[in-house]
Amino acid sequence: MRPLIHPAIDDVRPEAILHALSDPARAAIFARIMRAGCVEACSALAAVGDRVIPKSSLSNHFKILREAGLIRSERAGVEVRNHSRWDEIEARFPGLLPGIINAYAATPAGNADGIAALDDD
C-alpha cells in the first residue's frame, strides 16, 4: 500500500488550500469532515447535495485535500479515517478557512451542498 502524504504544517501553502477548496465538492467534503471532527469511512461522504461522487473521483478529492494539508488520513483496517486539520491551519493562516467556508455558504450552490456558515465565535 502506498503511504499517505501529509505535509508538515510549516509546508502548507495558502495557494494549495485555495486550489483544494476551489472545487465545490471538495469544499463540501472538507466542511463535513471539519464539522464531524473525524469521518470513519470515505464512502460516508460520497453524497454531496443531490449527487453521488464516483469512488475514483472521491479518492482524488481526498488526496488533494490531504496533500494541501487540510485533512489527516489514517488507515484503520480496510477503511481510512479522515480528520480535519482546521486548528493547525487556522493557527497558521487566521481567518482563511472561515472566509472560504462562509463564502460558499452564502451561495445557493453551497447551501445545496450542505455547506453551512460558521459561527463568529
Per-residue pLDDT tens digits for 68-105: 999 998 887 777 888 999 999 999 999 999 999 989 88
* Stated pTM of the model: 0.83
- Structural domains in the chain? 13-107 (1.10.10.10)
Whether residue 75 contacts residue 6, with contact meaning beta carbons closer than 8 Å, is answered with no
Q: What is the pLDDT of residues 28-48, one digit of tens each?
A: 889 888 887 666 566 666 666
The answer to whether 113 and 45 are in contact (CB under 8 A) is no
